[in-house]
Amino acid sequence: MGFPVDTTVCKGLSHLKVALKNVGFSKRHVAQKCQLVAAILHLGNLEFHTDRSRNEDAAVVGNTDVLDIVADFLDVQPEALEAALSYRMKMGKKELCTIFLDPDGASDNRDELVKPLYSLLFAWLNKHINQRLCHDDFNMFIGLFDLPGPQNMTSRPRSVLHQLR
């Protein structure tokens, strides 16, 4: 059956792809950037829960179909991605310790992965568009002002740190 398709969004994506090609991006670069955006969006759909049948307390991904999609987009193994989101490594004195994350901690870890992916994509696009359009003329450049989206201020206070930068 599928989901309803918003034709406005489809047209907007088509216009964006054409604009990026007109600026000088190759089809491969456009496809890679779209794939990264898709990975970022799908990462936000990952749900975590505790699996009592396992011997450890680390959260597991509840919707493995979404995990498989994200892993494919990022070109990593689904198991490796799940482990990266469900555990955190900390150095204590001279030992590396593995911390099992509960579902909330895994969600925070996921969000902490999404932020630099989006930030790096945004910076890369800005830099490369300027290189293609402005060359060495510092009087002409494109600057993008990106405001963060809505934040869940009622969640764990640790998430406020990134807003102070």
* Tokens describing residue 162: 């990134």
Q: What is the pLDDT of residue 52?
A: 76
Report how far residue 28's alpha carbon sits from residue 117's, in angstroms, rounded to the nearest whole number: 19
Q: Which CATH superfamily is domain 11-130 in?
A: Myosin VI head, motor domain, U50 subdomain (1.20.120.720)
> Where in the chain are the domains?
11-130
pTM: predicted TM-score of the whole model, two decimal places: 0.75
Q: Say yes or no to pLDDT of 142 above 70.
A: no
Tell me the per-residue pLDDT of 47-101, one tens digit each, with 9 for 90 and over: 999 987 776 778 999 999 999 999 999 999 999 999 999 999 888 888 988 889 9
Percent of the chain, pLDDT > 70?
76
The two beta strands, 48-50 and 59-61, are antiparallel
Tell me the per-residue pLDDT of 97-133, one tens digit each, with 9 for 90 and over: 888 999 999 999 999 999 999 999 988 988 888 888 8
